[in-house]
A and B are shown apart, each in its own frame.
Chain A
Amino acid sequence: MPNSRQVGWSRLDNAAKIFPSTSERSDTRVFRFSCQLTEPIVEDLLQQAVLSAADSFPQYLVVMKRGIFWYYLEQTSLRPVVGEERHRPCAPLYFAERPSLLFRVSYYRRRINLEIYHVLSDGTGALEFLKTIVVRYLQLRYPEELAGGKLVLRSAPVSEKNADSFQKYYQKVRERSQEKSRRAYHLRGERREEDDLQLIEGIASVKQVLEAAHQYHTTLTIFLTAVYIQAIQQEMYLRDQKHPVVIRVPVNLRSYFPSETAKNFFGMIEVAYDFSQSPGDFDDIIRVVDETFKRELKRERLEIRMNRLAQLEHNPLIQLVPLPIKNVVLRMARHINDVGETAVISNIGRVTLPEAACPYVESFHVFASTLKTQICLCSFGDRLQMGFASAFETPGLQRNFFRLLTEKGILVQINATDTLQEPAPQTQHKGGKKSCGTATAAK
């Protein structure tokens, strides 16, 4: 009898296990992928496209619930509802008191935004989902131009997309960690009053940035990472320089371990630059970043890091701790881990779409929630997007970063969410009553 109403459930993958406990304040662990089309979005068609895309990603049609020891995902009959953007960027998606889907699709003018809780997926999975939504939308929007199956997005089998690749490649590591983590330099600054994020993105030409990178005989990623480090250095006080700048870089493990999962499958590497012991000029930063990338981006190195992370989940002592206590412990562990981190740079890389879709699409955009400042990079065609999300009131690091680019002759276009509210202009009057009146009028 109850079998007919059986509800499927699944465990959180290894990386996802830490996210629910460590979602706090401006770091909601929600990230945003956007796609800007050439024409304004039609809501009804987008709604249809989202429903149809969600059918191809059944593992995203879930709600998160609390078990005794871990959270888990349970299938749901809830379906996404598309609307004009009305939430703050990367607003929370999980609420303890009521079940809700863990992703949100909104639009504004020509832009489609997909916001997704990191528990569901990492950037690669989310991007596949957004691409599916965009392709379905274009099929509905331009049925004549795109007739005859010109638009086909290759899609992995659902079972593949649902696989937990961390489990598949997990091996117990025996050796203890050799590296001692040092305290990294931390950006200073007032947090934004509302504890939310400010988004500032710069759009530049891929060609121009590549030309600049080639002047230093390096790649685009290494070049921009070096610019990022230099921009951070410009924010440092002299006394801060005893601490190294440590940039964490998420790495898509699918490029190293065959997998087509739509769940999380990424690792982190670290690039450290110590301004107290190095010359600190741009060429030297590039050299260090280049060396670190070459050393760390190898299957064997990533494997060790991945297994070390997975050990946490496989530790029987941690497994047996009830969830409310686990939440506290994991949150503390996260803050200890954060001591060794200055900022994060996340490169999604080149986004590709089927040839027929390209004339209707202008650019792709990425932002990730953070407690500090984080940059995400992605490119589509010749448009490179550099998306900063920041929990700080003043965008010093962002200003340095983009000025370093424009100094090198790169044209940058800035899009930003609202910055500090300027107080409404108020003229001073002699009578108290009058000035009161103007103040209200100005509001």
Chain B
Amino acid sequence: MRYCNSCKVTVTGDKKRCPLCRNLLSGTAEPDTDVFPTLPPPRYSRHLLYKLVTLTAISAIVICFAVNWMVPSQGWWAVFASVGILAAWLTTMVGIAKRRNIIKNITWQMFLLSGLLVLLDFTYRWRGWSVDFVLPCLCLASMASVLAISLAMHIPPREYLINLLLMAVYGLVPLILLLTDVVRIIYPSVICVACSVILVAGSLIFEGRNVRREARKKFHLR
């Protein structure tokens, strides 16, 4: 067993230096008395994609401002562009993070994209395209794709029911916008609301028990 003369402790294994004071040890090494294996250093590097996407977003914003500064134009359009780039960056990052679970991914993207696009519409002279088209169409598309994917891939209902219901409930938001006259072009919104109501009714009728159980699990408060 090795011995440290300054710390007055014995040290197992075949260490050259004392783990406590870094002084050289005396005595003979006994390599098979060590209790911890020598391991390679850990790799905590984040996914390369995250880094690439982030650098691309930063460069795009910087270039926008640089061009905006150099080329005479009306006002700072780069601010508006940056909001768009940030939105694109955020949804890409979420997309990478949730890449293993397609249904979760769609749910997150629906909430995120609709929110971001409304924000974008809002920062750039409120024209209303986000609530007229984007919101209802995103909802419809998400519900349709989750249904199609889960049927095609034979995913058990409990895995996607709650996501589908969240979408359907979100699909009722256009109803509020319709009633408060925020929406001007009504067709997409009405279709979205109708589909959502049918979907909620359908899941409650056919999978009511599952819905209740899943909801208790996912929504428990304490």
Q: Which residues of A contact B (CB under 8 A)?
A: 2-3, 5-7, 9, 11, 36, 67-70, 72, 74, 84-89, 91, 96-98, 108-111, 194-196, 199-200, 202, 313-314, 316, 319-320, 395, 398-399, 402-403, 406-407, 411-419, 422
Instruction: Say if the beta carbon of B181 comes within 8 Å of chain A.
Output: no
Instruction: Say if the beta carbon of B42 comes within 8 Å of chain A.
Output: yes
**What 1/0 mask marks residues of chain B from 147 to 164 whose CB sits below 8 Å from any chain A CB?**
000000000111000000
A418 proximity list for chain B (CB < 8 A) = 36, 38-39
B36's closest neighbor in chain A, by CB? A417
Instruction: Say if the beta carbon of B21 comes within 8 Å of chain A.
Output: yes
Give the docked Cα–Cα distance between A403 and B9 (Å).
Answer: 8
Decide if B19 touches A200 in the complex (CB within 8 Å).
yes
Decide if A67 touches B220 in the complex (CB within 8 Å).
yes
Decide if A67 touches B20 in the complex (CB within 8 Å).
no
A-B CB contact pairs (8 Å), 18 listed: A2-B209, A3-B209, A5-B158, A70-B221, A74-B217, A86-B37, A97-B98, A109-B32, A195-B42, A195-B44, A402-B7, A402-B9, A413-B9, A413-B12, A414-B20, A415-B12, A417-B39, A419-B17
**What 1/0 mask marks residues of chain B from 196 to 222 whose CB sits below 8 Å from any chain A CB?**
000000000001011001000111111
Decide if A415 touches B35 in the complex (CB within 8 Å).
yes
Q: Which listed residue (B17, B35, B156, B221) contacts A69, Cβ 8 A?
A: B221
A72 proximity list for chain B (CB < 8 A) = 217, 220
Instruction: Say if the beta carbon of B8 comes within 8 Å of chain A.
Output: yes
Instruction: Say if the beta carbon of B127 comes within 8 Å of chain A.
Output: no
A3's closest neighbor in chain B, by CB? B209
A194 proximity list for chain B (CB < 8 A) = 41-42, 44
Decide if A98 touches B100 in the complex (CB within 8 Å).
yes
Q: Which listed residue (B8, B19, B44) contacts A416, Cβ 8 A?
A: B19
Interface of B is mostly: loop
A398-B20, A414-B9 known; A68-B35 Cβ under 8 A: no
Decide if B10 touches A314 in the complex (CB within 8 Å).
no
Decide if A67 touches B13 in the complex (CB within 8 Å).
no
A365's closest neighbor in chain B, by CB? B35
B209 proximity list for chain A (CB < 8 A) = 2-3
A69 proximity list for chain B (CB < 8 A) = 219-221
B38 proximity list for chain A (CB < 8 A) = 418
A406-B9, A414-B20, A417-B36 known; A88-B42 Cβ under 8 A: yes
B20's closest neighbor in chain A, by CB? A399
A313 proximity list for chain B (CB < 8 A) = 222
A406 proximity list for chain B (CB < 8 A) = 7-9
Instruction: Say if the beta carbon of B11 comes within 8 Å of chain A.
Output: yes
Instruction: Say if the beta carbon of B141 comes within 8 Å of chain A.
Output: no
Decide if B35 touches A109 in the complex (CB within 8 Å).
yes
Complex interface residues of chain B between 29 and 80 (CB less than 8 A to chain A):
32, 34-39, 41-42, 44
Identify 16 new A-B residue pairs, CB closer than 8 A, beyond the known A11-B222, A314-B222: A36-B35, A67-B217, A68-B219, A72-B220, A88-B42, A97-B101, A398-B20, A399-B20, A402-B20, A403-B7, A407-B8, A411-B10, A413-B9, A416-B13, A419-B22, A422-B16
A196 proximity list for chain B (CB < 8 A) = 41-42
Pairs of residues from A and B, 8 with the lowest C-beta to C-beta distance, nearest first = A416-B19, A399-B20, A406-B8, A319-B221, A417-B36, A67-B218, A412-B9, A413-B10
Instruction: Say if the beta carbon of B97 comes within 8 Å of chain A.
Output: yes
Decide if B11 touches A414 in the complex (CB within 8 Å).
yes
Q: For B34, B220, B222, which residue has the most chain A Cβ atoms within 10 angstroms? A: B222
Q: Within the complex, what minimum Cβ distance (angstroms) separates A316 from chain B?
A: 8
B99 proximity list for chain A (CB < 8 A) = 97
Q: Within the complex, what minimum Cβ distance (angstroms) separates A238 from chain B?
A: 23
Q: Within the complex, what minimum Cβ distance (angstroms) separates A407 from chain B?
A: 8
